[in-house]
């Protein structure tokens, strides 16, 4: 019998003898939208009451089993049946219910499986409870049923981390009963048939397996430490612990309260903003990502810190990589650098030696650029000097195929200038990695003036294969991230001239959630690098613009930051402490500026810095350098250490209130000159 309830087109029932097979079909990922919840609950109850039915199989059509609650319903009034009510109905069913899952059974999807009486999973499927990654907690019984099935420690791990598990681990943990060898549905039907008339094992009725209380206490402490200010992992851990304090239904009630409360928090809204942003970033008008060319062999020019990091990222993703340095000595250093990185990765336990060997074998380091002849893409990571890069690209265009993509990793130069002497300029694109390139997720893909759409699509496809968060940027000095970061840095320095200290500013941003405050970060990256850039730009600097001499004077005093033992902080003791020389330089510079001294609260500091960032972001949006606000937030949450639960500078500007942000910028405009002119985009947003 096959029936589709016309009132509910997403759930169909097909009977195979005494087995009712209920299949959901709700593209793209079978989110448990209202139609799924109501249809599936009705179908389960109908099948349970049907005397011809001995057991039930729940499955999904399309790419995956239920991938969780429908994020588009979040923040709206809940509509019955709520997902936990569906799960309770499944578990209460008097006949055996088997969940057959493929793809990614996540969140509410995994909870539907846990409420079923048995679970069979395709060998290549994955399961998980990613709610905390959205700033939420499971809300349909997961915190109660999972620990009863797999024990407290494993349940705490999965639910507070949000990580996905593969079939073998799911089986080993006890969260599933079998892995489908070939025919998921056929094997699920057989499992259901075998269960008819047998006792039903309901996970909600199980006792939590014995556990080591001290070890769990340590685990709870570790969750809190790792959360670094994010609340949902800690809340989720508390809910899981309810499994040993009360009944399943009491635990589910507590889940429901926490889930609804967290839904309204800034952290969850920020994390959902980022979730949506990640899926928006590569939807670009007029760009067909499927037009990307196949890339197998990649060339990298330069095996320095960036070049070796990029080479490792490429080899890790399965590409064969030809690295060329200027001479054998530099090539040899490059080999050592790359080999050393892999050795450290193996030593840390992140990969096995065999994997490192396989990846290393994909990287060939030499000093003859003719080795690039059969490359599909060559990226340069040489010294950020325009003439050097122009000459390099001119040479390369005489070596590589005419269709070989030429990418530049420049941070500040204009890819159009680099492309000036290249034959077939349409093949030039920017691929701006962030150090360390094999670790940092952000990749700014810079669309130069002549970049062909399929070249842009290809650079994005390579970035995605590397596991990067790609963000398309237009051409300007510093592209999306570094241009905004420059405004942020200037306001940090200006506040020193007005009475704030490096420690105060760092403390304000670290308590905001950054892993490291700005001045500690400047010291870490080295004050001399931006000093060299400022000296190069000195001749063209606007004399009317406010300029802070503090970092220049620190460098003139040989205080380049951590690398020289002192910068804004002193590192002689091994830990950063305020540096006396820096304090004198700050005091002297402030006196020379003669600005009114004031005290800054942490909120003052955050508002001023986020205002500077949002204002520059507004200008980027006006110019088309950034395609959308959320792209800017992706840049800072993937490339500059911003916690995703803060949503990014543009998100935070809205949280703080755009009127206040505009007021802050107007003060900057009056005090700091034309570089901080109020963005018309920001002004319009504040008025809308
Ligand atoms: N709801 C609605 N749409 C979703 C969705 C969801 N949960 N997940 C993905 N989509 C859309 C996505 O926007 C995109 O749409 C398309 O599906 C493909 O997604 C009570 C409350 C499933 C691993 O957190 O992890 O359950 O752009 O590009 O790379 O306890 O999507 O095509 O229009 O990401 O193959 C828990 C989130 C929710 C899963 C697929 N579940 N999704 O990855 O494709 S909370 C999640 C993912 C919950 C319960 C609680 C991934 C994926 P469009 P995609 P993908």
For 46-66, the pLDDT digits (tens) are 999 999 999 999 999 999 999
- 630 neighbors 275 (Cβ within 8 angstroms): no
Residue 156: per-residue pLDDT: 98
pLDDT band at residue 640 using 50, 70 and 90 as cut-offs: very high
- 622 neighbors 680 (Cβ within 8 angstroms): yes
Does residue 58 sit in the same domain as residue 113? yes
β 320-324/363-366 pair status: parallel
Residue 206: per-residue pLDDT: 97
Does residue 415 sit in the same domain as residue 376? yes
Ligand 1, residues 10, 28, 261: which to mutate, most atoms within 8 A of Cβ?
28
Does residue 413 sit in the same domain as residue 538? no
CATH number, domain containing residue 106: 3.90.226.10
Last residue of a domain, one of 453, 475, 497: 475
Last residue of a domain, one of 247, 264, 281: 264
Ligand 1, residues 67, 268, 282: which to mutate, most atoms within 8 A of Cβ?
67
- 41 neighbors 5 (Cβ within 8 angstroms): no
Does residue 564 sit in helix, strand or coil?
helix
User: How far does CA 84 lie from the centroid of its chain?
Assistant: 29
Which is nearest to 64 in space by CA: 121, 132, 136, 147?
121
Domain that includes residue 397, residue range: 295-475
Last residue of a domain, one of 475, 494, 509: 475
Does residue 498 sit in the same domain as residue 466? no
Does residue 211 sit in the same domain as residue 345? no
Q: 30 C-alpha vs ligand 1 centroid, how far in Å?
A: 9
Model pLDDT for residues 536-573, shown as the tens digit of each residue: 888 988 888 899 999 999 999 999 999 899 999 999 99
Q: Report whether pLDDT(135) > 80.
A: yes
Q: Report whether pLDDT(114) > 70.
A: yes
Q: Report whether pLDDT(205) > 50.
A: yes
Residue 1: per-residue pLDDT: 42
Does residue 352 sit in the same domain as residue 486? no
Euclidean distance between CA atoms 550 and 532, whole angstroms: 14
Average pLDDT value for residue range 267-296: 96
Q: Report whether pLDDT(36) > 50.
A: yes
The ligand 1 atom nearest the CA atom of 63: 35
Tell me which residue has its CA closest to atom 29 in ligand 1: 279
Model pLDDT for residues 469-516, shown as the tens digit of each residue: 999 999 999 999 999 999 999 999 999 999 999 999 999 999 999 999
Residue 355: per-residue pLDDT: 96
Tell me which residue has its CA closest to atom 18 in ligand 1: 28
Which positions are annotated as active-site residues?
A: 111, 131
pLDDT band at residue 7 using 50, 70 and 90 as cut-offs: low
Average pLDDT value for residue range 448-455: 96
Euclidean distance between CA atoms 256 and 251, whole angstroms: 9
% of the chain surpassing 90 pLDDT = 93
Q: 9 C-alpha vs ligand 1 centroid, how far in Å?
A: 21
Residues in contact with 562: Cβ distance below 8 Å, sequence separation at least 6, in sequence order: 523, 524, 526, 571, 576
Q: 66 C-alpha vs ligand 1 centroid, how far in Å?
A: 9
Domain count, the chain: 3
Does residue 470 sit in the same domain as residue 498? no
Q: Report whether pLDDT(6) > 60.
A: no
Does residue 373 sit in the same domain as residue 410? yes
Does residue 225 sit in the same domain as residue 136? yes
Euclidean distance between CA atoms 239 and 19, whole angstroms: 35
Residue 4: per-residue pLDDT: 47
Where on the phi/psi map is residue 479: left (φ > 0), alpha (ψ -120 to 50), or beta?
left
Ligand 1, residues 35, 70, 71: which to mutate, most atoms within 8 A of Cβ?
71
Does residue 489 sit in the same domain as residue 619? yes
Between 412 and 252, whose confidence is greater?
252
Q: Report whether pLDDT(238) > 50.
A: yes
Q: 104 C-alpha vs ligand 1 centroid, how far in Å?
A: 10
Q: 105 C-alpha vs ligand 1 centroid, how far in Å?
A: 10
Q: Report whether pLDDT(86) > 80.
A: yes
The ligand 1 atom nearest the CA atom of 133: 24
Model pLDDT for residues 170-188, shown as the tens digit of each residue: 999 999 999 998 999 999 9
Does residue 135 sit in helix, strand or coil?
coil
pLDDT band at residue 352 using 50, 70 and 90 as cut-offs: very high
Tell me which residue has its CA closest to atom 46 in ligand 1: 68
Residues at CB less than 6 angstroms from ligand 1: 28-29, 31, 67-72, 83, 104, 106-108, 111, 130-131, 134, 136, 138-140, 142, 279
Residue 545: per-residue pLDDT: 87
Q: Which of 3-12, 454-463, 513-522 has the lowest mean pLDDT?
A: 3-12
């Amino acid at each position: 019998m096959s029936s589709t309830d016309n009132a509910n087109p997403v759930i169909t029932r097909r009977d195979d003898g005494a087995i009712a097979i209920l299949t959901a079909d709700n593209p793209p990922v079978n989110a448990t939208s209202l139609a799924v919840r109501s249809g599936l609950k009705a179908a389960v109850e109908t099948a349970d009451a049907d005397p011809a039915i001995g057991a039930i199989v729940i499955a999904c059509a399309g790419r995956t089993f239920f991938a969780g609650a429908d994020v588009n319903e979040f923040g709206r009034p809940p509509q019955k049946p709520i997902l936990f009510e569906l799960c309770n109905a499944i578990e209460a069913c008097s006949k055996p219910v088997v969940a057959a899952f493929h793809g990614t059974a996540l969140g509410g999807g995994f909870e539907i499986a846990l409420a079923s009486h048995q679970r069979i999973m395709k060998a290549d499927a994955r399961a998980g409870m990613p709610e905390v990654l959205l700033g939420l907690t499971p809300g349909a019984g997961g915190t109660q049923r999972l620990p009863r099935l797999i024990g407290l420690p494993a349940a705490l791990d999965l639910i507070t981390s949000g990580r996905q598990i593969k079939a073998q681990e799911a089986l080993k943990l006890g969260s599933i009963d079998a892995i489908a060898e070939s025919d998921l549905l056929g094997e699920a039907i057989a499992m259901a048939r075998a269960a008819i008339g047998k006792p039903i094992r309901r996970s909600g009725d199980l006792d939590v397996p014995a556990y080591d209380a001290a070890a769990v206490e340590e685990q709870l402490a570790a969750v809190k430490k790792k959360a670094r200010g994010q609340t949902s992992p800690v809340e989720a851990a508390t809910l899981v612990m309810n499994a040993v304090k009360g009944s399943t239904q009491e635990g589910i009630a507590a889940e429901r309260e926490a889930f609804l409360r967290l839904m309204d928090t800034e952290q969850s809204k920020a994390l959902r903003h980022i979730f949506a942003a990640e899926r928006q970033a590569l939807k670009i008008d007029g760009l067909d990502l499927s037009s990307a060319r196949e890339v197998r062999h990649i060339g990298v020019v330069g095996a320095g810190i960036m070049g070796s990091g990029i080479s490792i990222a490429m080899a890790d993703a399965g590409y064969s990589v030809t690295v060329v340095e200027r001479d054998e000595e530099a090539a040899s250093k490059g080999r050592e650098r790359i080999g050393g990185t892999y050795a450290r990765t193996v030593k840390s336990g992140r990969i096995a030696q065999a994997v490192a060997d396989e990846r290393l074998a994909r990287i060939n380091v030499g000093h003859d650029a003719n080795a690039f002849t059969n490359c599909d893409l060559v990226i340069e990571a040489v010294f950020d000097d325009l003439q050097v890069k122009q000459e390099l690209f001119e040479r390369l265009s005489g070596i590589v195929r005419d269709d070989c993509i030429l990418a530049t990793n420049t941070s500040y130069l204009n890819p159009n200038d680099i492309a000036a002497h290249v034959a077939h300029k349409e093949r030039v694109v920017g691929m701006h990695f962030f150090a360390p390139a094999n670790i940092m997720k952000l990749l700014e893909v810079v669309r130069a003036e002549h970049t062909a759409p399929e070249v842009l699509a290809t650079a994005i496809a390579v970035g995605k294969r590397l596991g990067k968060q790609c963000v398309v940027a237009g051409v300007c000095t510093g592209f999306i991230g570094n241009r905004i970061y420059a405004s942020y840095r200037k306001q940090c320095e200006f506040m020193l001239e007005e009475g704030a200290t490096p420690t105060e500013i760092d403390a304000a941003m670290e308590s905001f959630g950054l892993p490291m405050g700005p001045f500690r970060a400047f010291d870490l990256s080295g004050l001399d690098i931006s000093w060299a850039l400022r000296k190069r730009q000195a001749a063209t600097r606007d004399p009317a613009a406010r300029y802070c001499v503090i970092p220049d004077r620190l460098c003139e005093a040989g205080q380049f930051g951590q690398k020289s033992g002192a910068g804004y902080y002193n590192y002689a003791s091994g830990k950063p402490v305020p540096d006396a020389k820096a304090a004198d330089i700050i005091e002297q510079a402030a006196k020379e500026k003669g600005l009114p001294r004031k005290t800054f609260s942490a909120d003052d500091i955050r508002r001023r810095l986020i205002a500077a960032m949002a204002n520059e972001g507004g200008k980027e949006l006006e110019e088309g350098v950034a395609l959308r606000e959320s792209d800017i937030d992706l840049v800072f949450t993937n490339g500059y250490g911003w916690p995703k639960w803060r949503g990014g500078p543009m998100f935070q500007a809205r949280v703080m209130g755009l009127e206040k942000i505009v007021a802050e910028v107007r003060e900057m405009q009056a005090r700091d000159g034309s570089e901080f002119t109020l963005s018309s985009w920001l002004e319009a947003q504040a008025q809308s």
